[in-house]
């Protein structure tokens, strides 16, 4: 490993390309963060350092409502997605391999492969039928939609974790008088936990920043943070959006760092 990285690093132009890529990736984000501390109204001209956009964004009731809605949806959707993903992963790793196995994988990972816009339109049509039939207008539609496309993100780390787990541990547990439920509770679940938490966080972040499906599925007045920001920017580019983005970025960085630490540390 060390040798290979070394060899690639020594290719001519490697450093230049690497630096260019990093600059392209992170310069806009860095600018966004910097301008969230701009004292002026502009998102392009620096007028001095200030924290004013943070309280300003927070005093905006629409921002608060959208943030709260986003967190509600992300929390509920990621919990549902993780539960479903855990059951799916148990089903695909703990049963005898069948011929239909790859088809099952395909079905579970389908949201990763079908273009998001297709899923969005499909859900729109599907949910509007239900809306007409039931009259229910709440956040449930968004939660279900988010849970659906977040499931594969939660599924992948959980499946990886279960596959790397020694099956003889569960046999040993059964040998030591544990019922199926006790084996799950005391052996399988604790061992899969890091994978499940990683899955939960990935699902949470994925839900938090979704725009396309949310735009299609949401009813009027159900803006999440991303759709609210999109609407704001269409009207006028406000530095308030920079501040919100910076906070979202911070949250994502924290969650992804935790994800990294959890998946790296294997017992």
Q: Which residues bind another protein (CB under 8 A)?
A: 166, 168-169, 171-179, 182, 186-187, 190-191, 267
Nearest to 202 by CA among 81, 76, 25: 81
Smallest distance from another protein to CB 59, Å: 47
C-alpha span between 20 and 29 (Å, rounded): 15
Task: Determine how many CB atoms are found less than 10 A away from the CB of residue 106.
Answer: 11
Smallest CA-to-CA distance from 228 within 209, 204, 246 is with: 209
Say if residues 209 and 229 touch (Cβ distance below 8 Å): no
Report in angstroms how near the CB of residue 265 gets to another protein at its nearest.
12
Nearer to another protein, 87 or 176 (CB): 176
Nearer to another protein, 39 or 178 (CB): 178
User: In the complex with another protein, which residue's Cβ is closer, 191 or 241?
Assistant: 191
Q: How far is the CB of 173 from another protein (least distance, A)?
A: 7
Of 3 and 166, which CB lies nearer to another protein in the complex structure? Answer: 166
Q: Which residues of 213-242 are buried (b: 16+ CB within 10 A; e: fewer)?
A: bbbbbbeeebbbbbbbbeebeeeeebbbbb
Q: How many of the other CB atoms lie within 10 Å of CB of 177?
A: 7
Q: How many CB atoms lie within 10 A of CB 186?
A: 13
Residue (6 or 177) nearer to another protein, CB: 177
Looking at the Cβ atoms of 20 and 101, the one nearer to another protein is 101
Minimal distance, residue 194 CB to another protein, in Å: 10
Which residue's structure tokens are 């059951």?
87
**Cα gap 119→144, rounded to integer Å:** 13
CB of residue 191 to another protein, shortest distance in Å: 6
- Minimum distance of another protein from residue 96's CB (angstroms): 11
Residue 178: strand, helix, or coil:
coil
């Amino acid at each position: 490993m060390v040798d290979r990285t070394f060899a690639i690093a020594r290719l001519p132009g490697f450093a230049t390309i690497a630096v260019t890529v990093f600059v392209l990736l992170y310069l806009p984000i860095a600018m966004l963060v910097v301008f969230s501390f701009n004292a002026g109204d502009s998102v392009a001209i620096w007028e001095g350092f200030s924290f004013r956009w943070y309280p300003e964004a927070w005093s905006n009731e629409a921002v608060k409502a959208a943030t709260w809605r986003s967190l509600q949806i992300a929390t509920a959707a990621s919990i549902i997605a993780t539960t479903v993903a855990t059951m799916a992963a148990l089903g695909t790793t703990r049963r005898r391999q069948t011929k239909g196995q790859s088809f099952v994988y395909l079905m579970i990972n389908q949201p990763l492969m079908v273009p998001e816009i297709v899923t969005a339109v499909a859900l729109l049509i599907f949910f509007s039928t239900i809306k007409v039939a039931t009259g229910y207008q709440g956040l449930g539609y968004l939660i279900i939609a988010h849970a659906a496309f977040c499931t594969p993100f939660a599924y992948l780390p959980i499946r990886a974790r279960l596959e790397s787990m020694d099956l003889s541990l569960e046999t040993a547990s059964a040998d030591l008088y544990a019922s199926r439920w006790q084996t799950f509770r005391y052996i399988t679940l604790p061992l899969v936990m890091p994978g499940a938490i990683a899955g939960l966080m990935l699902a949470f972040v994925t839900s938090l920043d979704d725009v396309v499906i949310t735009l299609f599925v949401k009813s009027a007045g159900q803006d999440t943070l991303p759709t609210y920001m999109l609407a704001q920017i269409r009207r006028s580019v406000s530095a308030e959006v920079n501040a919100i983005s910076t906070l979202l970025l911070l949250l994502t960085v924290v969650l992804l760092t935790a994800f990294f630490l959890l998946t790296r540390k294997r017992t």
